[in-house]
Structure 1
Amino acid sequence: MTVKGDELPPLSLRVTRADLVRYAGASGDFNPIHWSDRFASGVGLPGVIAHGMLTMALAGRLVTQWVGDPSAVRSYGVRFTRPIVVPDDDEGALLELTGKVSDVTDGVARIAITAKFDGRTVLGKAVAEVALPA
């Protein structure tokens, strides 16, 4: 039985430049801030950054793995607060995800998600509502 205060199993994911290339191809977002160090630094960024929607999708994985059924997600929203800088190496950037049940009402759990890169939050007000199994 899921109750307020339950913690989801943490999830750590690596985001690499290869992931950015694959996401760009799937999404059609070929903005050079996601692949060119020269361009990214030229517009004031600390380096190539991950797509915001990729970051959001990876954070959503925390919830779908926990609930076991992606169709159980009723709603999901975030605010983008800080980019994930992805180095040009084989290791990539580490995205650390945690979640906590903040409410359970009428069979729907509200999950507060924390997404961190380099010890700092990258998504604000990240919340998913999930229909719990009967």
Structure 2
Amino acid sequence: MTAKVRYEDVEVGTEVPPREFRVDRAGLVRYAGASGDFNPIHWNEKFAKDVGLPDVIAHGMFTMAEAGRVVTDWTGDPGALVEYGVRFTKPVVVPNDDKGAVIEIAAKVAVKLDDEARTVRLDITATSGGQRVLGRARAVVRLG
């Protein structure tokens, strides 16, 4: 697969097209099945509230994966992702309704790291319900 984005076509400040992802309780159950993470904070409202959460919350790795998908979709090649890390700052609260929650992801080129390796670092912003849910979210990608 060839990268959609060429190194010479990006500059510091180049924005990745923002995306929104909707997550509902059924999606959390599917993700739990795929990941093997059946922690009740992700599906049992009473348990989540008993441990001090406002409601059921999305898996942190689900949120991280959606942010990573924005990056790999932009590059056009999942193999272009060289390094990726985040800090979980706030949970994505998923209400028990037909709408669920929305995770909004944006990213931009923060620095061109290496002209020879054609790598750039993207700074990623992820919010839900008006709150930042990922902090220090960064990805290093190798562009075509």
The interval holding the TM-score normalised by the smaller chain is over 0.9
Structure 1 segment 1-134 matched on structure 2, within 5 A: 1-106=9-114, 107-133=118-144
Aligned residues: 133
In 2, Cα distance between equivalents of 1:30 and 1:91: 22
CA deviation profile, 1:41-70 (whole Å, cap 9, x unmatched): 011100000001011001111101111111
Q: How far is the alpha carbon of 1:104 from its aligned partner?
A: 1.0
In 2, Cα distance between equivalents of 1:70 and 1:3: 21
CA deviation profile, 1:59-85 (whole Å, cap 9, x unmatched): 111101111111100010000000000
User: Runs (4+) of structure 1 moved beyond 2 Å?
Assistant: none
In 2, Cα distance between equivalents of 1:37 and 1:17: 10
Q: Secondary structure at the match of 1:44?
A: coil
**Amino-acid identity (%):** 59
Q: Secondary structure at the match of 2:55?
A: coil
In the superposition, the TM-score normalised over structure 1's length comes to 0.97
In 1, Cα distance between equivalents of 2:135 and 2:35: 23
- Over the aligned positions, Cα root-mean-square deviation in angstroms equals 0.7
In 1, Cα distance between equivalents of 2:120 and 2:97: 38
In 1, Cα distance between equivalents of 2:72 and 2:89: 22
Q: Report which stretch shifted further, 75-84 or 97-106.
A: 97-106
In the superposition, the TM-score normalised over structure 2's length comes to 0.90
Unaligned runs of 5+ in 2: 1-8
In 2, Cα distance between equivalents of 1:118 and 1:63: 22
